[in-house]
Structure 1
Amino acid sequence: MFEVRIRRPHRDLSSVVTHFSQRLGQFAEMSVLRPLHARPNQFLEFYLVDPYQVEEEGKGFAPAPQTVLVGPCLTPGKRLGFVGDVQTFTIHFQPTGLARLFNLPMTDMTDQAFHGRDVIGGGFAGLDSAVRRQSDFDGRIAAAEGWLYDRMGPARSFGAVDWAARVIARSSGRVSIDRLAARSDLSARQLQRRFLADVGATPKSYARVHRFSSVLEARRKAPDRAWADLAAEYGFADQAHLIRETRSLAGRTPEVLIQELLAIPEQNV
């Protein structure tokens, strides 16, 4: 089981960070694996003791970097394994948070995970050591927020693409992309080009993955809900459409996927 804590950032950081989280778990052996399905999230994760083990298709397991920066995932094919004393601290970013803070070309981050120092560069060592010096969740949040505050000044200002990405996220992908482009005063082609650069996916792909992730989260919170009902609520044509999307974005059926995701319970504390 994972014990999970979640905390919202200070309001001055809420335009670039959605939340901070902590996961704690003890695993005597790597007996339960979790598939990595397509998902829109971008985050910086610190493994404070034993790192996750990552398996790529056709390859064996290897430990993740001690601090890993992860971009949005559009392609399934990896699995996570957990063994030992797993303690994580994670900074979860807004859809354009990485691009705004670090001027990253997000197409280079899609389906990728890198050691934080290799991408963020200058100043990263200070963040890493400050987080690891702390003994609790609150202290790590304070250390991360102090470091992030220093980067808010030179960060790119909030613009049309930032707004559009937030609308897609808040609507769980259930929004007209053409209408979104019109309201952002951009042509569909302009929105797509800028969205790729700042989010790492086209608006349509990003909305698709958000909708898929949202229906999975809804099922995790309500395991007895029927897939057909969830498909209708989240804008799929029918249950068969949801099954096709799940096979494409996770490589398995919805029921198999949810059972694998629920194999390691999570308790909010």
Structure 2
Amino acid sequence: MHKTDISTKAQTHIWPASGQVAEHVLMYVVRDTRGSGLDGPDQLNHFPASPFCCITWMLEGELALVQQGKAERDQRLPQIFLAGCQSQYGISGNIGERHSFMAVFYADAFHALFELDLSIVQDLFVDARTSLNLQGRALLEAVALARDDAERCQLIESHVAQYASPLFANPWSRLRKMGQNLSLRLSCSLLGVGERQVQRRARKEAGLPLLGLSRLWRAKRSHSQVLLGLGQGHTPNWAEHASTQGYADQSHLIRDCKDISGRSPQQLLNDARNRESDWMYRL
């Protein structure tokens, strides 16, 4: 576990998934603003477009979705909500003090574990208790009643281990690891279907169209490399970074970053260093 914070009291705790479960679950995130006195813009939560499916348990407090891309939203989110894969960046707002636990799943694993057609939750935030299969709904309630975060992680990992057998032959795990090298021809070969079927299966089983997935998988690796470099004391050279991460050039990197976060890489880096509301970009 590690934590990241800017304010002296608002806390973000992160656990990576363990063992073989890490093939299917990226991480667990706890956000706790109790006693922090956050107000105004610090009560917001900026988030990027994402190729992941996330379940969030609001243990205390509530959230409202206020923006997706450039469009305003006004949606009070359920106490246990599922965020499908997101093709746009967005903003949510805390309603009161917040204590939440989030599990971040690879989308293809989420589809297989919970038997959900991901195309129907793309870009949506829905009540998880009405979206998952019977076993998934039992997991939601068990996690909500758990004593602490360690037990919450253990419950999810036990569930994944119990129902992971369909995942071992899942070609999507191989495809997502290939990232920027992903092509329609290769996807057809690995999935054993034609081009139209690949696109349908991509949205149903992996959450987004094939091109969108490839861009977001690349962006996730790019983001991880920036965080790794910062942790080692290195200031990003964006031209070099673009070259090593599979972008055509720095302009390509900037365009993608703006599509995914609403900001250029340098703007995003500056904001994440200085704004409490950009805590998610520090993960």
With normalisation by structure 2, the TM-score equals: 0.77
2:8 equivalent in structure 1: none
Please give the alpha-carbon distance, in whole angstroms, between the structure 1 residues aligned to 2:115 and 2:61.
Answer: 30
In the alignment, structure 1 segments of 5+ residues that lack a partner are none
**Which one of 87, 102, 125 corresponds to residue 74 of structure 1?**
87
Q: Is the 8 A contact 2:107 2:207 kept in 1?
A: no
Q: Is the 8 A contact 1:19 1:92 kept in 2?
A: yes
1:100 equivalent in structure 2: 112
Deviations 1:61-102 (A, max 9, x none): 6543211111111123x2133465432222222231222122
Q: Is the 8 A contact 1:52 1:81 kept in 2?
A: yes
Cα displacement (A) at 1:119: 0.7
Deviations 1:92-150 (A, max 9, x none): 22231222122211111111111111211545554333223323221112333445556
Percent identical = 19
The answer as to 2:250 corresponding to 1:242 is no
Higher share of residues assigned helix:
2
Deviations 1:10-48 (A, max 9, x none): 63x555434433333444214334433211111111121
Change (3 A) 1:173 1:90: farther
2:188 equivalent in structure 1: 181
Read off the aligned partner of 2:41 and give its amino acid letter: S
**Which one of 31, 37, 41 corresponds to residue 31 of structure 1?**
41
Aligned length: 260
**Which one of 62, 84, 96 corresponds to residue 51 of structure 1?**
62
Q: Is the 8 A contact 1:9 1:20 kept in 2?
A: no
Question: RMSD in angstroms over aligned alpha carbons?
Answer: 3.0
Q: Is the 8 A contact 2:16 2:26 kept in 1?
A: no
Read off the aligned partner of 2:28 and give its amino acid letter: F
Read off the aligned partner of 2:79 and give its amino acid letter: Q
In the alignment, structure 2 segments of 5+ residues that lack a partner are 6-10
Please give the alpha-carbon distance, in whole angstroms, between the structure 1 residues aligned to 2:177 and 2:133.
Answer: 31
SS in 2 for 1:127: helix
SS in 2 for 1:31: helix
With normalisation by structure 1, the TM-score equals: 0.81
Q: Is the 8 A contact 2:115 2:132 kept in 1?
A: no
